[in-house]
Amino acid sequence: MTFRSPFAIPRQLLTGTTSLGGRSAISTRLRCNQRGLATVVPPVTQDATGSKGPTAMVFMNMGGPSTTDEVEDFLSRLFADGDLIPLGRLQSYLGPLIARRRTSKIQKQYADIGGGSPIRKWSEYQCAEMCKLLDKMSPETAPHKPYVAFRYAAPLTETMYEQLFADGFGKGKGGRAVAFTQYPQYSCSTTGSSLNELWKWRNRLEGKRANGGSEPAGTIQWSVIDRWPSHSGLVEAFAQNIEAQLKTYPEEKRDEVVLLFSAHSLPMSVVNRGDPYPAEVAATVHAVMQRLRFKNPYRLCWQSQVGPSAWLGAQTSDTVQEYVKRGQTDLILVPIAFTSDHIETLYELDQEVIHEANNPGVKRAESLNGNPVFIQALADIAHDHLQKGELCSRQMTLRCQGCTSERCLGQKKFFAGQEQASMVI
């Protein structure tokens, strides 16, 4: 059976394969302690002193199971998402079936990275810290209240929405909310899927459907930060993490280290539909290299491909193996499309690709996680968005050339607002 996932499904989620054989449990635990759940998150402190607001800041991402007990539900939702894994008319039957068959193997892999995904911990921390900065930078829209909405794991979009109601937003009280994607580069399979879900729950919980067919007054006023692939703060945070890892090599060899930027792959069917993701990932890579003055040779490669259909390549694992075979054993892997650690960094890169390379010169740059430069970048992006008052980027109004989805059309028209709805094509 071939699964044509339009966005990166971690290979482990689909195959449940592992390459851990031969390594000691101690080394695995050590890695987990270095990069996994054991990483200590600093305490969040709120400082909402503004006179207006509040403004809800909602971080959207795919999410991940925080404990191994959440794995089956996570997989069920993931395989039920036709934006991510189109299984056609059999989606509702095949999705749960695949999820059940994968669960125990995937649970083991989450156990290997510390017992679950750290993405919730990092997302909540990043959002809360960003809000604290925003309260100072933008007192006119303060207090900024942090929320997280995951597509496949708790807290889900509907949970976040109910929390907004409980906190005094909507239901006749209005209020402003910003949907801030945590995928820096836009794909219809990721940010697009999260926006489809947000639009769905908005309609169910406070749209016409919830109000007997007419649009109610006092609903939440949404705007969207839909992409930020080459923001200078994002670029700076990536560059500093790369420089920190470069410093671990002897000075005379430092400029010869090859930088391998790694992002989730896409099936070529999605690329050929016109998905903007590959171009936006390339924009991030180029901006980071420009900041690093192109001192090191580099390549962009793609991870997590599954099944026999054509995917965007070259694959990260193949790339590492090939360069090592040619004698280039100093390589730094740079996860360039995610803003915190997750199974694709902690397991796929650290415990599969780097382990299989079996060479001390093959390393990985740290993920953004709690990096203060990155959190300041988030605040700058949000501040700019609030100042401009735009509902979404102009780019979001243009659908993919090959898009035939009525859901994409409806979602984009809603978030573009009445004035821009006619621009959605």
Taking the least distance from each CB to ligand FES, the nearer of 241 and 411 is: 411
CA distance 317 to 369: 24
Instruction: Please report whether residue 416 would count as binding ligand FES according to CB under 6 A.
Output: no
Q: By CB under 6 A, tell whether 400 contacts ligand FES.
A: yes
Binding part of the chain for ligand FES, among 240-248, 332-340, 382-390, 402-410 by CB under 6 A, reads: 402-410
> Between 273 and 295, whose beta carbon lies closer to ligand FES?
273
Pick the piece of the chain touching ligand FES (CB under 6 A) from 59-67, 148-156, 302-310, 399-407: 399-407
- The alpha carbons of the chain give a radius of gyration, in whole angstroms, of 21
Interaction mask 249-288, ligand FES, x per CB under 6 A: ------------------------x-x-------------
For ligand FES, which is the closer residue by CB, 136 or 273?
A: 273
Tokens matching residue 329: 């054993």
Backbone angles phi, psi at 55, to 5 degrees: -120, 125
Which of these, 74, 79, 81, lies nearest to 96 by C-alpha position?
A: 79
Q: Does 227 bind ligand FES (CB under 6 A)?
A: no
Taking the least distance from each CB to ligand FES, the nearer of 77 and 399 is: 399
Please measure the distance between the N-terminal and C-terminal CA atoms of the chain and give it in whole angstroms: 35
Give catalytic status of residue 69 as yes or no. no
Largest Cα–Cα distance in the chain?
71
Q: Cβ neighbours of residue 347 under 8 Å, at least 6 residues apart? A: 10, 12, 109, 112, 113
State yes or no: residue 392 binds ligand FES (CB under 6 A): no
The answer to whether residue 242 forms part of the interface with ligand FES (CB under 6 A) is: no
HSE-CB of 292 using CA atoms within 13 angstroms: 26
- Please state, in angstroms and rounded to a whole number, the distance separating the CA atoms of residues 159 and 123: 16
Nearer to ligand FES, 254 or 273 (CB): 273
Q: 231, 355, 383, 385: which is the annotated catalytic residue?
A: 231
Per-residue tokens: 182: 């945590």
For tokens 């990092």, the residue is 122
Residue 90 vs 425, nearer CB to ligand FES:
425
Euclidean distance between CA atoms 299 and 62, whole angstroms: 26
Query: Of the listed pieces 152-160, 216-224, 334-342, 400-408, which binds ligand FES according to CB under 6 A?
Result: 400-408
- 403: contact with ligand FES by CB under 6 A: yes
Q: Is 224 in the site for ligand FES (CB under 6 A)?
A: no
405 binds ligand FES (CB under 6 A): yes
The footprint of ligand FES on residues 132-191 (CB under 6 A) is 188
- In this structure, are residues 46 and 340 in contact, taking their beta carbons and an 8 Å threshold? no
Residue 408 makes contact with ligand FES by CB under 6 A? yes
Q: Is 424 in the site for ligand FES (CB under 6 A)?
A: no
Question: 238, 336 in Cβ contact below 8 A?
Answer: yes
Quick one: 361 or 417, whose CB is closer to ligand FES?
Answer: 417
275 is catalytic: no
Candidate residues 36, 339, 399, 415; the one interacting with ligand FES per rule CB under 6 A: 399
Distance CA 325, CA 77 (A): 40
Measured distance CA(181)–CA(276) in Å, rounded? 15
Instruction: Name the residue among 138, 207, 148 with its Cα closest to residue 414.
Output: 207
Q: Residue 282 is encoded by which pair of tokens?
A: 């390339």
Q: Annotated catalytic sites, by residue?
A: 231, 380
What residues make contact with ligand FES under the rule CB under 6 A? 188, 192, 273, 275, 399-400, 403, 405, 408
